[in-house]
Structure formats: C-alpha cells, structure tokens
A and B are shown apart, each in its own frame.
Chain A
Amino acid sequence: MTADLNPRYTFDTLVVGAGNRLAVAAARSVADHPATAHNPLFVYSDTGLGKTHLLMAIGQAARQLSPSLVVEYVTLDEFVEAYHAAVSAGDTDAFHERYKSAGVLLIDDVQFLAHRRELQTELLRFTAELQEAGSQVVLSSDRPPSEIADLDDRLLATLAGGLVIDIGPPDLETRLAILNRRADERGVELGRDVLRVVAEGETTNVRELLGVLNRLIAFQAVSEHPLTPEAARALLDGGAEGGARRGSMPPGPEPPDLEVLPDLPEGIVVADPEPEPPPVVIDSSAGMGQADDTGDEFGLFLSEVTRTVEEQMDRWQGRVRDAINHWSAKGYRTDRLERLLERGAEDPDATIRAFERDIATLRTLQHQMAECDPERAGDPVFRDPEALAEAEEAVQRAEATFEPPPAPSEAFALRDFVESGSTRVALQAAKTIIEEPGVQYNPLVLVGPSGIGKTHLLHGIGRELARGRPVGWVACVSAQSFMDELVQAIDDNRIPTWRARYRRAHAFLLDNVDLLGASDRAQDELFFLFNALLEADRQLVFTSTLPPREVNGLNDRLVSRLEGGLVAGLDVPDETLRRDVLVRQFMARVGRADEELVSYLAHQPVESVRSLLGLAQKILTTADAKGAAPSVGIAREVLEGPAAAGRPARTSGVVVAPSGGVESREKVVWDWPNPADRIIEDLG
C-alpha cells in the first residue's frame, strides 16, 4: 500500500556518497524502468545505512513516473503476517491479488527468511509470479543472500539472478552532508564546526548519527546560546556512554557524573541520560554537598521526555499502521484508519477497536449474504466498514427473497415408524442424531430394499430435526428432485444460489442417493455440498436401496464419504413388524383389528411394508365395497380367489423366513394343486 511509503524517503532526500553511489544508481534505474533493468534488485548493508530509505525512494520515484503503478512496500514480517492472516481467514485470494497487482513490490528485512523454508517457498513462488507478470521486485537485507542461513538454493539463485548490491558506511563528507541536510530540514541552525564534531565521531550508522543530531537539537532548543563544538563534543562523549550501553555504539570515554561542563552554554549539565529501569533506587546522595545551582536540569528532563514521547508516538502510529496492513491485506478498505493516522482522534485505540468491530459485523453480514445469495457476497460493500448500513440493507433484502430448501414431508411422522428387530439399529441411530445432530453417525445412510420404510424414516428424522427450528434448517429432498433442481439451476445460470440453499441447511437429508449414480454432475455437487456441511458439523442423512459401494456409477470419493458415517440396514419386515403395521393400519381405518385377519396377513410373504400395506388396502377396499368389516374370509377371497374364501388356508408347507430366505415372491410356488386332482401315472 503506497500509504506506507514515508514521503520523506525519496531520492531527493537521500545523500549520495561513495558508500551508496552504486546502490542509488541501480535503484534509480529500477525506479525509472521497473522490471527491465535489474529484477530482482537485492540491496544489503549493515543496519542504519539507508536500505529502507532506498526502497521507499524507488517506490516514490516509480509512482511519480507512473501514477497508475501500484507500489507495495512491506517488511518481511508484515508480508508473513498478512499471508498467515489470509490463510487463517481462508482468503488467500485477496492476499495474492493484492501483491500480484503490484507493479513494484518492495520487501524489507528479508534476512528473516533464515531457517523459514515454507516462507522461502512462498516468496520464491511470489517472485516468479511477479516477474512473469512484468513486476519489479526489490528486496533488502542486512546481509547478502548467500549469507542468509538455510536459504533455499532456488531462491538464492533467483535473488542472485538479478542485481545484488551493497551499501557501504558513509564517509566523513557524506556524514557531514547528511547532518547538514537534516539540520536544515529541522530548521535548526547548528554551526558547521558543531556538525563536523558529530560527523567526526565514531558513529557511521546513519540512523544513530541522526540520533546524535537530534540530541544536539534538543539541547539547542532549550538553550539561549548557540551550541559550541566543545559543548557538542562533551555531549557526544556523554551520549556515547548511553549508546554503548545499548550495544550499538562504540564505547566512549567515561562520562562526567553530574558535572558542569566548562564550555557548555549556561545551565547545561550532562547527567546520566538513562536512569536504571525500575524498580531501582537511584542514589543521588553521592552528589550531595556539591549541588550545582546552574545546571540545566530542565533541559535534560525535556530531552528525556521528548525521547520517551517520540517512542510512544511511534508505537501508537505503528499500531495503526499494523492494523491498516492487516486489514488491507484481507481486502478491506481502511480509509478510517488512514484518516486516523493523518488526523488523529480522541482515542485511537477505541477507533481501531470500533473499526475491528465493524469488520466483524461486515464478515457476519457477508456470511449471511453468502448463505442467501453467494453471487453478491463478493460485493465491495462487504469490504467497506464505512458502508455497514448499506451491507445490512443488502442482506435484509436477500433474506426477504431467499427461497428455503425443500422441507421434510408432513406425511411421515417418526412416531408412526414401527420399531422391530429389522429396524432397530436404524431407528436408534435416527434418535441419536435427532438428539445431537452432526455429532455422531454423520452421515447416516439408511439402506434397504424399496418400500421398506427408508423414506418414512428419513422424513421422520427431518421433521424431528426441524421441530422448533427456523424454516430452512432442515433440507429434505429426493435425489430425483435434487437432480431436477440442478438442471434447472444450470439452465437459469443460478448455480451458486442453488448451492447456497442447501449449504445454509443445518441438516441435509437426501432420499435415494443411489439414483445419483446416473449423474456425474449431481455427484460432484453432492460431493462439495457434503464436504461443506460435514466441515460445519451439519447432519447428513441418506437413503439408498443398496450399500453405497454397491451402487452402480457412484464415484469412489462419494462412496468413501457415505461409508464413513453409519450405514444402517433396514431389513425385510419380520412378523412382529408386520403385525404392528397391520394393527395400526386397521385401527386407524376401521377402529378395530381382527386378530385372525392380522395373523393371516402377517404370514403373507411380503418383502416390504409397502407391499403389506398394499395388501391391507385391498382388503379394506373389498370389505368396504361389500359393506362388511374386513375379515380373514375377505382376505382369502382377495388373495386366493373366491374358492378359497370358504375353506381353510393351505400352504405349500414351505416356511419362508421373514428375513428373506427366498428373495422373490415370483420364485415361490404358492398355489399348490390338490393332490386328489393330480393324475398319477406309473411309468414303471
């Protein structure tokens, strides 16, 4: 983001000397002709010698030459943080888009790539992508690529493939020029001799050199007399001690201890600039008895306060910048934070927190929109915290027009589903998932022959799950409807919206999944829907006439997912189940259930509850036509013909196991001829 480019860091403000002449020339060349001269350009130097300045100068100059050019400046850590944030937010696209759209990508502090293989791979990929896209990459480090520990050979080759150039420490003249320029910028008049004293010091690190200058400026500001070279030297000697203690400056001579320096302007005293950190007792009694009335203690105090305030302000601004980087990397507009950086606010942290709350609300709204109308979830309004009201309105409109998925049928109640040995496992599993949807048995696949009660159980589960929950919580659809809807959605070019209907459901129940074997596209859709719902711990229930692995045409990835939950079989109804079903049916229809009739029908060789109910229906219809109560006589007449109505039932003597020892009714001879009618022929 170009906002990160410090406007003060331009080529114009860069003092060129022997140490950085080559690097500056290369940088200018890159800025003038991005991606053509040296790509990537790798700049390295010791800390504080102007790498960041150079990088930002490239960015400023390139942008000035081509205002439409997108320039991105980022430190490696920010780059990594943005990448990780994007990964964790599942929004790596925005991250890639942000950086891929950059005409010039400036990455600072890449020495932190050391021992971070994964990151190196990502950077390698990025660099290659950007180079292919004709973008310029500029990197900086405190060491050459070959000295970055454990650097991937491919990345090393890529980095070394452009131009690797170092910045040397500034010579005396350069240091003097830097000090002169900075003093001018600050509007402070310091004598040339004073600046020379600073330049001649042992500090070659530009950043620290400017720190020394700041110290002189702070002293000058509180003094009524111009700073003399001697006073400056004395101050530097005192300051060097403080610097050495921080480990960044060479040790200087012993500092004076609360001593009045002879040539300092009146009142200026040098004391230990850094009191020991708390909790420590600072013993000032050592100086007692030699107090100095002319010491400019206030000047020292002011200098300390200035330094502390500046540090704190930098941290505050850093927090705002971090927030800007963080959220813009995720594709959100950060105008509010940028205004905050420019103009301030009464409570910046509160502003950041409010901004982040708005982002959270936006994400919720975007999620809601994705569930209703995914095609509109990418609208810019969901990336702009200033347009929160607009986003809310959009979601409300989408909610109002949202068409919920098919609900379970009211015709099937779970309480009407009869429990028996052949349905017990499936029913128990159903009760478990009703109690805790999405926790156990996910998916639940109900397998059994046609007419066995799978659809009843499926819808019964659906109704129980939907009880007390909002419309659309449960989607219950037959495979045939699922495929028909898909075709229609393709026709209407509204696939995302169609998908959203189901992805929004908290339970998805699909009847006859085996029918999808005929449609690859429907299987693909089911596969993605399955994954999305399962990942969100939503409950899935399917029915099938065959175990998934035996369904013809069902692809392996779907089979493995269906088999991954619980496949519960519903067997051919046993006698108990048949009796229960018949009793319920007759009680419901005529208010009584004749035991003999029930017993007769329960022994009829049916393969499914549906067939059994069909038999009962025939008898009820016949009885109704005759104006009589349903009876075993009517049943015999219906099932065996009028002749059988008056005689006792005869069977083949073959006992057919209720579990289906003989699979098809057609394969069994049911009406055996009377042996008395048979002609016995002796062939002997």
Chain B
Amino acid sequence: MSLINFTTREITCKIVYYGPGRSGKTTNLQYVFDRVPSNRRGRMVSLATQSDRTLFFDFLPLELGSISGFTTRFQLYTVPGQVYYNATRKLVLQGADGVVFVADSQARQLDENIESLQNLQQNLLEQGVDVRTLPLVMQYNKQGLPSELILSEEELEDALNFRAAPALTADALEGFGVFETLKAVSEAVLRKLSEDPAP
C-alpha cells in the first residue's frame, strides 16, 4: 500500500497494533473509537471469540479530512495475539506503514512479550521489511495495575526495547497513553515522507 498517492491526493496510513494475546491492542482501538467524532470514523470491525479474544483482526478507519489538499485516512488494525494465528498476523502486517507494539507490563507476561516481538521481527523479515526501518512505537500497557504485578518501565525497556524505539507507558483501559501512542506512531510514519527517496 502506498502511503501517499499524489495523483489522487490521498494519504493513507496503515498502522498495526501488534503484541501478545490480551496485551490490550483491541482496547487501544476501542478507546480511540470512543473518542473520535462520529463523522470522522468508520465502522469498527472486530471479529472476536466468545471470550472477547480477537479471532481475526480489528479494523478502525479514521477520516482526518483534507490536510494540505490531501485526503488523509488512518487505518488502525490489530492482530490476534495468540500464537496459532500467525498466518493472520502476517496478512494484517502486509503493507503496514507503522507498528505499535503493545506489551503487557505484567511480569508474568514477559516471555510472551519477547516471543511476540520476535514473531513481529520474523514476520516482517519474511515480507522483506527490515524492522529497523519501519516506524515502530513501544507501548508498555497495563501500567495501572498494582506495582507488585508489573515490571517497571526501566525493566521493560531493558527487556524489550533494544532498538531504542520511542516508548510510552499506558493504561489503555483508562485511556492513558492511548492517543499519545497513536500520535507517536503517526508522527514517525509521516516523517518518513520527507526522508531521502530511495535511489
């Protein structure tokens, strides 16, 4: 997918929320959905299991209107976090302009976070995308839980953010850090517009 189409004067950013199961990806999208004026958002598509686990993916289209003469759209996706849905994750990841890695801050979820991060890298690699060049933002979610249950921001940084990507703490259920994360990834994606063109 082309990020910017100068012929049709459209900017379309596909942002994928990635992370282990139950880390809060859908919650992020749900929060955004609730805060966007109805005339600015499309229908949020969510395919979930009976236990509210994302079965396929969530999709939230945002219409940001005309900016600098360009009709600007954001498409927010989540991937199913469960290990066995890797084919779906690959599908959703295709053509992503930016990725938010939603990490579960709970200490007992650290291995799942690491596994999911490795899975992200592997899936991108298979698509010929170098994770170092793709706009990536880390979100350490569930920071609202009791401190004895979660890892501190520093510990999560040490464990997960060896690429020194922009990182934010969040509590998506309460909405904290949700829009900050979206802003961070949007900015990273849009700034790529002015980077030196490929030779």
Contacts and interface: CB of A to CB of B under 8 A. Distances in A.
Interface of A: 221-222, 224, 271, 275, 278-285, 287-289, 291, 293, 295-298, 300-302, 304-306, 308-313, 315-316, 343-350, 352-353
A305 B184 contact: no
B169 A282 contact: yes
B153 A281 contact: yes
Given A222-B37, A316-B194, A282 B184 contact: yes
A614 B24 CA distance: 106
B5 interface: yes
Given A284-B177, A313-B70, A304 B183 contact: yes
Contact of A346 (B2, B70, B170): B2
Given A281-B168, A281-B169, A284-B169, 9 more contacts: A279-B161, A284-B180, A285-B143, A289-B144, A308-B190, A309-B68, A311-B194, A315-B194, A346-B5
A297 B176 contact: no
Contact of B184 (A275, A283, A310, A349): A275
Contacts of A301: 179, 182-183, 186
Contacts of B165: 278-279
A312 B178 CA distance: 24
A284 B28 CA distance: 15
A138 to B, nearest CB: 30
A279 B135 CA distance: 12
Contact of A283 (B32, B153, B197): B153
Given A291-B176, A345-B6, A346-B7, A316 B182 contact: no
Interface in B168-199: 168-171, 174-180, 182-184, 186-188, 190-191, 193-194, 197-199
A283 B169 contact: yes
Contact of A285 (B9, B70, B169, B197): B169
Contacts of B177: 282, 284-285
B72 interface: yes
A309 B70 contact: yes
Interface string B141-177: 0011000000001000100010011111111001111
Contacts of B178: 297
A275 B2 contact: no
Contacts of B37: 222, 224, 298
A288 B171 contact: yes
Contacts of A297: 35, 175, 178-179
B178 to A, nearest CB: 8
Main secondary structure of the interface of B (DSSP, over half): mixed
A304 B187 contact: yes
B171 A281 contact: no
A611 B70 CA distance: 89
B164 A309 contact: no
B68 A310 contact: yes
B1 interface: no
Nearest to A269: B179
Contact of A305 (B2, B72, B157, B175): B72
10 contacts: A275-B183, A288-B143, A291-B176, A298-B40, A302-B65, A306-B64, A308-B187, A316-B193, A345-B6, A346-B7
Q: How large is the interface on B (under 10, 10 to 19, 20 to 34, 35 or more residues)?
A: 35 or more
B143 A279 contact: no
B36 interface: yes
B186 A284 contact: no
A301 B186 CA distance: 9
State the 7 A-B residue pairs at the shortest beta-carbon distance, nearest first: A349-B197, A344-B6, A278-B166, A312-B193, A315-B194, A284-B177, A297-B179
B141 to A, nearest CB: 11
Contacts of A345: 6-7
B11 interface: yes
Nearest to A306: B67
Contacts, number: 138
Contact of B6 (A298, A305, A306, A347): A347
B181 to A, nearest CB: 9
Nearest to B199: A353
A201 B40 CA distance: 32
Nearest to A278: B166
A222 B37 CA distance: 8
Contact of A304 (B157, B186, B188): B186
Given A275-B183, A278-B165, A353-B197, A312 B191 contact: yes
Interface in B2-30: 2, 5-7, 9, 11
Contacts of B199: 353
Contacts of B157: 281
Contacts of A349: 197-198
Nearest to A297: B179
A310 B190 CA distance: 10
B174 A291 contact: yes
B30 to A, nearest CB: 13
B73 to A, nearest CB: 11
Contact of B186 (A280, A288, A308, A343): A308
A316 B11 CA distance: 14
Contacts of A278: 164-166, 184, 188
A287 B176 contact: yes
A284 B184 contact: no
Contacts of B5: 346
A345 B4 CA distance: 10
Nearest to B168: A282
Contacts of A343: 7
Given A275-B180, A279-B166, A284-B180, A309 B11 contact: yes
Nearest to A347: B6
Contacts of A302: 64-65
B49 to A, nearest CB: 28
Nearest to B184: A275
Nearest to B198: A349
B171 A279 contact: no
B179 A298 contact: yes
A353 B193 CA distance: 16
B6 A348 contact: yes
A302 B32 CA distance: 12
A373 B152 CA distance: 76
B68 A313 contact: yes
Nearest to B136: A278
A7 B16 CA distance: 41
A284 B176 contact: yes
A346 B1 CA distance: 12
Contacts of B169: 281-285
A45 B99 CA distance: 46
Contacts of A316: 193-194
A301 B179 CA distance: 7
Given A278-B166, A278-B184, A308-B187, A288 B7 contact: no
Contacts of A222: 37, 40
Which one of A224, A296, A305 has the greatest number of beta carbons of chain B within 10 Å? A305
A488 B182 CA distance: 78
A591 B65 CA distance: 99
A347 B37 CA distance: 32
A373 to B, nearest CB: 35
B177 to A, nearest CB: 4
Nearest to B40: A298
Contacts of B170: 284
Which one of A221, A271, A281 has the greatest number of beta carbons of chain B within 10 Å? A281
Contacts of B184: 275, 278, 282
A287 B170 CA distance: 10
Interface string B23-56: 0000000001001110010000000000000000
A85 to B, nearest CB: 19
B95 to A, nearest CB: 16
Contact of B144 (A288, A308, A309): A288
Contacts of A282: 166-169, 177, 180, 184
